[in-house]
Structure 1
């Protein structure tokens, strides 16, 4: 089991803080699969848009004709025809993330990780060989809001039907072998041991506890050392039966398919799932009191994490907060935080901010690490930068630059079939309109300084921060004064 390099799950505009994501599990793509060969041949046959052709203009934005319908079992399907490559990408999202764990942290992730460990008549090795022999790629992962499974395959009927038949077995008839469960549990337990040496992860776990209290978002998606060993096969089977039900699913489909092909495939997949309704939506979290917590850890660096409740995916201020955060700390060099903390004072290699909107209010977070003896002053500096930004809002130049950057990068969100299927999945899962991407761009480009400032102050406050630090207790030194050329830049080297 290993971390998967995931395609975008969230629509462009807001930075997804990596601390929110849990472990993803998958079968690796074959090194020299038939699908990969077809992809290379198709790419070489296409003419790329050259830099000279752009001539200062933004890259061409791909217009998506999104088609949608519901299957007989009630699964919502979003489909885009894309005949440039002889392939298709399918992604199924279930409201089956760790927020549905109940009193058993880790149940959702373990269930998802076990899907491709066995089906009737096939073990994990035979399943992997089956996909590889067809040039197909199976993927799965579990997060706080959702769990997902994905299939990439050639669109030729013989390859497509065979890959889809195996895919249907994996998601609809997992056998949850006992030996596989023991192995994956051991891998998770080994991960928990590693976490003890990772101050950033320890700080993240503590931060979510403080931010969410008794809410389902509070516990780590991978579970805890206490909860994972006790999870039983019966619990996995019960969770699969209710959380992987057709009524709890959304299908996103992109590729070299006709509408009739797509309908037939979606109907087959839908029919293979357990029968049942959507799970109840979780409640909104309660606003926590501001607090500061410290985790003692022997290191030269101190990790600083700041958070407060942000927004859910349905919030109408999404676009304004996107651009506002891009200026504060979401865009790398040139942001307010990076300029004040790194460029002028050399206190860190990087400092980043981001909203992670989910089904209910996800976190807004700022994270960085700095030399331990500078941690107190750096913490206060970050607080001051946020307070000043909320007070003044962005400048017109900052907003114009952010709009220009968004316009230039936005086409990348639909540059490939994998990108598109990720966008469709998010649109379906969060029940967004089919023209969401176009509307997002229009809203963003029309925003004024006053609108961005108002949205930031509506959702953020400099005195509501939940802060967790992880590092050694040591005598503090004063911060260096701001300068165009810091004496040492940066002061600390990332440890993890």
Structure 2
């Protein structure tokens, strides 16, 4: 699921939890873009100040405490702009669906459909009239609700009052439930024409089996229609409880004001404890699974269980993966599969650590008649990389790129509030960002290779392909100048 801001009259978009290099530092994924200063050219001022040097990163002075109801709060004071960002992160993702797949997504989508005396249009107009943005989204691990508002008291207080009502006391209107269900059902019909989505659903089912991560986070055409208003209300009362949330605050606020905001939001939520932690998934059975689909290209997805967010090898695996396929051009996969052979438009690999072991994935698409050879090539590249590890030059280049991109992790209040939410949600130390950077820059080739081999094995991949069954052709030989343009141009 992706995050959306009001005004919103359609269901939230759907997607797979995302990209590597910035995910290594931007822990929480979606966030709102920061607002530029009002004078002309102000958004380019930082470029003038660089003077050829790497940008410096903000040092975060994170304050933390718990509210009376048990909510964990993380706060960073930042007075550069007259606004603040508030993000609530609940352990209320699809992994808490139980036997009702899609319950978490539907509950989150219904939050701003109605409160006492206001429908979805009035809620959207209320935030817009105050110059405030409301956002929400549901994922496998978590559900989020966010507010961006001006910090002036006359704007802040009514925005917070409306936000607290939306998140803490939604009315779940029946007509809105019918509308959103219909929109979701239409989306499921569209998925039938999307081989990449079909392959992703199959991959998670094969990788996780009966584990809570195994079913589609949005549910499916059979699970959504029977969900009732009473079930939504019960899930909200349990999963949106004050003891089950992390409150992240960044912006133009004093510590006293931040404490008052956290107390107000926490008191508005249902009372209740944190939900139990998830069990670790069992090792899946490796193998190839094919979905027959009429298209000119075949989607290839390879995966195995990776790590959870708190794994001590996180830095080594992130850096190692950026060399394998986590960046753009210049990675092992892009060089061998696209640049030397023109077999695909793009290929990437990613670790997606979650509360428990998230997936390590490789994803690409290529011409159907070359799919088997391309799959074997990708497996051979992974096998060779695990055997040899990165070269010293590759490691040095990856460290340099990380050092250059790392300041983006704290470049705006929106990025900082996402960091705080993830640090709190995954119980990471407050100095996680500094520690991650220090660990990454001190890694050796052998440490990266050892970490990769500890967590990955080329013969343990769960593979899903989606495309037509056609006669196969041999792969073109590698060359510095492929005769054709890349073949795997995305069809969807």
For normalisation by structure 1, the TM-score amounts to 0.93
> Which aligned pairs between 1:155-304 and structure 2 lie closer than 5 A?
155-304=151-300
For 1:447 and 1:357, how far apart are their aligned partners in 2?
20
For 2:336 and 2:275, how far apart are their aligned partners in 1?
45
For 2:425 and 2:282, how far apart are their aligned partners in 1?
23
Query: Is the Cα–Cα contact under 8 Å of residues 119 and 173 in structure 1 kept in the other structure?
Result: yes
1:455 paired residue among 446, 451, 454: 451
| Cα distance, 1:49 vs structure 2 | 2.7
For 1:15 and 1:343, how far apart are their aligned partners in 2?
25
Query: Is the Cα–Cα contact under 8 Å of residues 42 and 84 in structure 1 kept in the other structure?
Result: no
Query: Is the Cα–Cα contact under 8 Å of residues 9 and 426 in structure 1 kept in the other structure?
Result: no
Evaluate the alpha carbon distance shift between residue 95 and residue 123 of structure 1 in structure 2; reply closer, same or farther with a 3 A threshold: same
2:75 paired residue among 73, 79, 103: 79
**How many corresponding residue pairs?**
481
Evaluate the alpha carbon distance shift between residue 261 and residue 378 of structure 1 in structure 2; reply closer, same or farther with a 3 A threshold: same
For 1:369 and 1:288, how far apart are their aligned partners in 2?
23
For 2:280 and 2:86, how far apart are their aligned partners in 1?
31
Residues 1:444 and 2:444 aligned together: no
1:121 paired residue among 92, 117, 128: 117
Query: Is the Cα–Cα contact under 8 Å of residues 115 and 176 in structure 1 kept in the other structure?
Result: yes
For 2:62 and 2:427, how far apart are their aligned partners in 1?
14
Query: Is the Cα–Cα contact under 8 Å of residues 329 and 337 in structure 1 kept in the other structure?
Result: yes
SS of 2:285's equivalent in the other structure is coil
1:54 alignment counterpart: 51
Question: For residues 439-468 of structure 1, what are the alpha-carbon distances to aligned partners after superposition, in whole Å with 9 as ceiling and x for unaligned?
Answer: 100000000000000000000000000000
1:319 alignment counterpart: 315
SS of 1:379's equivalent in the other structure is helix
SS of 1:41's equivalent in the other structure is coil
Query: Is the Cα–Cα contact under 8 Å of residues 296 and 468 in structure 2 kept in the other structure?
Result: yes
SS of 1:305's equivalent in the other structure is strand
For normalisation by structure 2, the TM-score amounts to 0.94
Query: Is the Cα–Cα contact under 8 Å of residues 11 and 423 in structure 1 kept in the other structure?
Result: no
Query: Is the Cα–Cα contact under 8 Å of residues 75 and 247 in structure 1 kept in the other structure?
Result: yes
Residues 1:112 and 2:71 aligned together: no
1:88 alignment counterpart: 84
Structure 1 residue ranges without an equivalent (≥5): 30-34
| Cα distance, 1:53 vs structure 2 | 3.5
Query: Is the Cα–Cα contact under 8 Å of residues 13 and 322 in structure 1 kept in the other structure?
Result: no
| Cα distance, 1:54 vs structure 2 | 3.5
Evaluate the alpha carbon distance shift between residue 461 and residue 203 of structure 1 in structure 2; reply closer, same or farther with a 3 A threshold: same
For 1:288 and 1:221, how far apart are their aligned partners in 2?
19
| Cα distance, 1:60 vs structure 2 | 1.1
RMSD, aligned CA: 2.3
Query: Is the Cα–Cα contact under 8 Å of residues 20 and 326 in structure 2 kept in the other structure?
Result: no
1:374 alignment counterpart: 370
Residues 1:100 and 2:108 aligned together: no
SS of 2:369's equivalent in the other structure is helix
Question: For residues 214-267 of structure 1, what are the alpha-carbon distances to aligned partners after superposition, in whole Å with 9 as ceiling and x for unaligned?
Answer: 000001111011000000000000000000000000000000000000000000
| Cα distance, 1:11 vs structure 2 | 9.7
1:387 alignment counterpart: 383
1:32 alignment counterpart: none
For 1:481 and 1:475, how far apart are their aligned partners in 2?
19
Query: Is the Cα–Cα contact under 8 Å of residues 14 and 321 in structure 1 kept in the other structure?
Result: no
SS of 2:249's equivalent in the other structure is strand
2:407 alignment counterpart: 411
